[in-house]
Amino acid sequence: MTPMSISSATPAPDLTVQGAEVPDPHIATLVLLGASGDLANRLLMPALGKLLDAEPQRRGIELLGAGAEDWDAQTWTDHLKDSLTAAEVSAETIDALLATTSYQQADVTSAADLERLVKAAKPAPALYFALPPAVTAKACDALADVALPDGTVLVLEKPFGTDVASAKALNARLATLVPEERTFRVDHFLGRATVLNLLGVRFANRIFEPVWNNQHVESVDIVFDEQLTLEGRARYYDKAGALVDMIQSHLLQVMALVAMNPVGEVSAFDLREAKAEILRAARVWGGDPASASRRARYAAGDVDGRQVPDYAAEPGVDASRGTETLAEVVLEVDSWRWAGVPFRLRSGKAVGVARKEVVVTFKPVPHLPTGLTGACEPDRLRLVMGPDAIALDLNVNGEDDPMGIDRVSLDTQLHPGRLPAYGEVLAGVLDGDPLLAVRGDTAVECWRIVDAVLDAWAKDETPLQTYPAGTQGPEGWPV
Ligand code: NDP
């Protein structure tokens, strides 16, 4: 079953984007630049294995690993096999991949090395930049001197730039290399089963769309709080922080799916344009980033029985940077549908209880009939991201007092998805279908929204608070 199977009656996605047609969307070689890195090893290679398990007809794909390491063929195949075995990929897929894979040492910032890689790949290749962002930017510069075969796809990881200006500059560079519809800015949250499920829940049911607006919705919360701490990633995280790491990319993408207008077709053009409309209309609540945002950093504490040191004392952290590990921003979407509805986006590390969900809170009933007693809380629809679940919190008549109000939650686990999120991302890349890729203009919009907050924080207009690891954040914050 594909993630879009509810809409299986719709034709195949139209890849005509703003008038330009994709010549041949099928990718013959996946070139993994940065093949020895963490992303490649822990997420991409396992996801490719899972994709080939689910869709064995793809097993002819060539995997060309490339990186700084001077690895011989045996070292590479051992590395690949270890990664696939750890992910419990089937022996058939492992054998198939080992039969078609190869590795080349390369400096990916060198045009000559990139040219060699492209020539070694069967057309059309997908170049997946599993590299530090600064190296990816240099590799893109170097690609200007490389003749890319028709149909080449470029795949970029987050963070896409560091602000509006750098994201625009990167877009401009990429536009000289391949057309927009072959530029895949990855946000793997868009491949998560629960996030994809927003499409089915919203558009394959009659009951939600009529109330999905400011007449009936009080507020929307998009929360991704995790127990994980820094986990040795100071080099990246200490420069990013929770706002850039989570809200600028993943949570804004989820918000766009929650708030967008219904699409005529789940196609790359329609879906990405509908998301773009929302992101263009989004801004910090009341136009005041200082009061519409909060930030905090964890101090030493206990997360689920695990002693966690003060963030500032973690190896590789520069405490003077004031990096936040918990961020919250309240946004508004300037449109008829959403005017006046706060969208609260929040993400934190080292919390006591993980909470990863989209919560749509509905307005109170206009009148509670006399005779019904008890607290009448708002209805809530909750989409939980891992373990995937959906819940509808409702008021019903009580058990002991039949006229008293009781609260029930209609909840069910959702199927976890046929593939890990990166499997869905890779399926799109190999098909040349940018449905789940972030369009260049929306990457810039996300920075526009977040840059306003970063500016206020740089001026210290929003204080950096502290919370003990293992709690849900500073006292007084809504959870
Ligand atoms: P790593 O630092 O683990 O890996 C980067 C890889 O790039 C290494 O193999 C490194 O080789 C290689 N490399 C660096 N410079 C060159 C060069 N000039 N020529 C060839 N190879 C080079 O980073 P990650 O894998 O963690 O991250 C990669 C990207 O993925 C980043 O943009 C990150 O933000 C993103 N990302 C990562 C996630 C993760 O969980 N790791 C999750 C989501 C996104 P060497 O080590 O030999 O220098």
User: Tell me: the pLDDT tens digits for 383-438?
Assistant: 999 889 999 999 999 988 999 999 999 999 998 888 999 999 999 999 999 999 99
84: which DSSP letter?
H
Structure confidence at residue 9 (pLDDT): 32
The structure's pTM equals 0.93
216 an active-site residue?
no
Q: Which CATH class is domain 190-416+439-468?
A: alpha beta
Please tell me if the domain spanning 29-187 has the same topology as the one spanning 190-416+439-468.
no
Q: Which amino acid is at 170?
A: L
Predicted local distance difference test score (pLDDT) of residue 387: 87
The residue ranges of every structural domain in the chain are: 29-187, 190-416+439-468
Residues with CB under 6 A from ligand 1: 34, 36-39, 67-69, 106-109, 130-133, 135, 157-158, 236
Q: Are 395 and 407 contacting, i.e. CB atoms less than 8 angstroms apart?
A: yes
Mean pLDDT along residues 337-351: 98
Euclidean distance between CA atoms 1 and 225, whole angstroms: 30
Element (H, E) at 442: helix 440-458
C-alpha 31 to ligand 1 mean position (Å): 14
ipTM comes to 0.97
Query: Amino acid letter at 117?
Result: L
**DSSP 3-state assignment of 205?**
coil
Mutate which of 131, 143, 184 for ligand 1? The one with the most ligand atoms within 8 Å of its CB, which is: 131
Kindly indicate the confidence band of residue 3, based on its pLDDT and cuts at 50, 70 and 90.
low
The CA–CA distances, whole Å, from 151 to 22, 122, 156, 159, 310 equal 7, 11, 16, 24, 49
Q: Give the mean model confidence (pLDDT) for residues 215-244.
A: 96
What topology is assigned to 29-187 in CATH? Rossmann fold (3.40.50)
- Mean of pLDDT values over 133-142: 95
Residue 124 preceded by cis peptide, ω within 30: yes
Q: Is the pLDDT of residue 25 over 90?
A: no
Distance set, CA 35 to CA 47, 55, 128 (Å): 14, 23, 10
CA distance linking residue 269 with residue 180, whole number of Å? 11
449 contacts 284 by C-beta, under 8 angstroms: yes
- Per-residue pLDDT of 252-268, as tens digits, reads 999 999 999 999 999 99
Q: Ligand 1: distance of its center to the CA of 34 in Å?
A: 6
3-state secondary structure of 431: helix
- Written as one letter, the residue type at 325 is T
- Which atom from ligand 1 is nearest to the alpha carbon of 109? 18
Check residue 17 and give its pLDDT.
40
Residue that the structure tokens 């959906």 belong to: 390
